[in-house]
Chain A
Amino acid sequence: MARSLVERTLASVTHTLEQTLFAEDIARQPGVLQSLDPRVKLVSVLALLLAVSFARNLWVIAGLYLLVLSLAWVSRVPLGFFVRHVWVALPFFTGLVALPVLFNVVTPGAPVLTLWSNPLIAITAQGLRAAAFLILRVGTSVSLAILLVLVTPWNTLLRALSVLRVPSVFLLILGMTYRYIYLLLKTASDMFEARQSRVVGRLQPAAQRHLVTNTMGVLMSKSYGLSQDVYLAMLSRGYRGRPRTLDRFTMQPRDWLWGAAALSVAVVALWLGRG
């Protein structure tokens, strides 16, 4: 039987919370990447992303993807989960974009598979190559970004953005958004559960819409009240409109070493893949 809107919403909220807990558990594993300074991880990933984006040699990009997989493995990220996470959703987005590129209409070249002879519509060798480039490039880039997020707790990653000169007030807001999104998710989940426990049978679509709009209204009003109280709590502890934050990061020799290695790999990949 098809699940009701309330059930689906509840399931989706629960799934989101579970995924986050799972990701946080990975970030806490004693793996190689987890032990590195988050700023080094951030800069390394950005350098490798640049290399992936500018490399014009398929084998170089494939090599970088293998490197990402090895890094995931030594960082105790479950490989099945990691690969699935990237490649299941990718065809729906990049695949659709890559599809027209296959054909001679967009990418002229030697036909490999002719679908229609007059006028000629065929998949070309050049088209296949271009599509492979696009998919592999996007897949590797997404894998790099996901790996970074999996091996670094969100709040640490946000704090590491300071190395890119992101203003501290922006980091404070991002941090608070991340912190309170869970409270609001929990509130929404509690509200739906309370409603669900008092419903016998299925709600009519109009009643379901009514429930959703009500919930949105209540959540909006709660978050508004919460934001006012949080601001008072900040004022109470000396906040005067200019947030001051303190990083607890300390660079160890191995962080410098890792950063240098990652930058070297990126430079070599760019050189090898210069086309």
Chain B
Amino acid sequence: MQVEPVFEVEDAHFSYDRRQTALAGVSLQVGRGDKIAILGSNGSGKSTLLKLLDGLYFPQRGVVRAFGQPLSEDRFNDETFAFDFRRRVALVFQDADVQLFSPTVWDEIAFAPLQLDLSEAEVKARVAEAVQTLRIEHLVDRAPHRLSGGEKRRVALASVLALRPEVWLLDEPTTGLDPRSQSWLVDFILEQAEQGGTFITSTHDLDIVSEIADRVYVFDETHRLAAEGPTEQILADRELLLRCNLIHAHRHHHGDVMHAHPHWHRPHAEHVHEA
């Protein structure tokens, strides 16, 4: 059965100030209900790709299509299209301080439903539901600058959940989270995905990839996609991960013999060695 396409990206190029290349010819496809991880080292272009998928930036060459329609600045000038797209696709920014711009947590969660012209009663109902799902009842009247990193992440997710989007774009969602919050976040993604959501998560945290993604795209350091495939296959390809700066060679002595093997750091846990 053919899966309905959500995003089709063909040979997308993007550079900041026309000098600093972020994407150098990227193509990918995302279908409804897919759970995708975009792997890559810092600065490889993951965040830029998510902003392209969210219609915040537009490719300088190539095409990005969402739900079969090409995304462009002109397209977003059409209120009906912009309204429909923003209702269906949501991005959780890497930096929670960017995402949380309202004076209080309540205002933050109500922002998106309000901009989408929902009725007052519906806005309040959506905020209440998001607050309950994320278990942040105690935070609603707090100012974002007085929240901890984990609390900010929960509020950022609630602010998107209130939209009830079909497609979630998550930019490095585990950055700065302690192990418990990280595990909670994985559960949250899985719960939402079970309800039919499409998830595209950019990360370099290999630890969560097998849990939150069925398919993986890997960026190399030339801002191109180096590989694409099922999660297990990609994670088993140590040579690829090493080349794309996602794991590194670890050298140490066994007696008098120098020994080297691929290695990555599980955040807040033991190191993972490959014999």
Contacts and interface: CB of A to CB of B under 8 A. Distances in A.
Given A183-B145, A229-B93, A236 B115 contact: no
Contact of B99 (A175, A176, A233, A238): A233
A244 interface: yes
5 contacts: A155-B103, A179-B101, A179-B143, A236-B56, A246-B123
Interface string A177-193: 01110110010000000
Interface in A226-275: 226, 229-230, 232-240, 243-246, 248
B83 interface: yes
Interface of A: 24, 153-155, 158-159, 175-176, 178-180, 182-183, 186, 226, 229-230, 232-240, 243-246, 248
Nearest to B114: A244
Contacts of A233: 91, 93, 98-99, 101
B143 A155 contact: yes
Interface stretch (B7-15, B104-112, B213-221): B104-112
A238 B102 contact: no
Contacts of A230: 98, 101
Nearest to B159: A237
B103 A175 contact: yes
A180 B99 CA distance: 12
A238 B116 contact: yes
Contacts of A245: 107, 114
Interface band, chain B: 35 or more
A178 B98 contact: no
B236 to A, nearest CB: 35
A235 B115 CA distance: 10
A82 to B, nearest CB: 23
A178 B112 contact: no
Q: What 5 A-B pairs are tightest by C-beta distance, nearest first?
A: A155-B103, A238-B115, A237-B112, A182-B145, A238-B86
Interface in B111-143: 111-112, 114-117, 120, 123-124, 141, 143
Given A176-B101, A182-B145, A246-B123, A236 B79 contact: no
Contact of A237 (B51, B124, B143, B163): B163
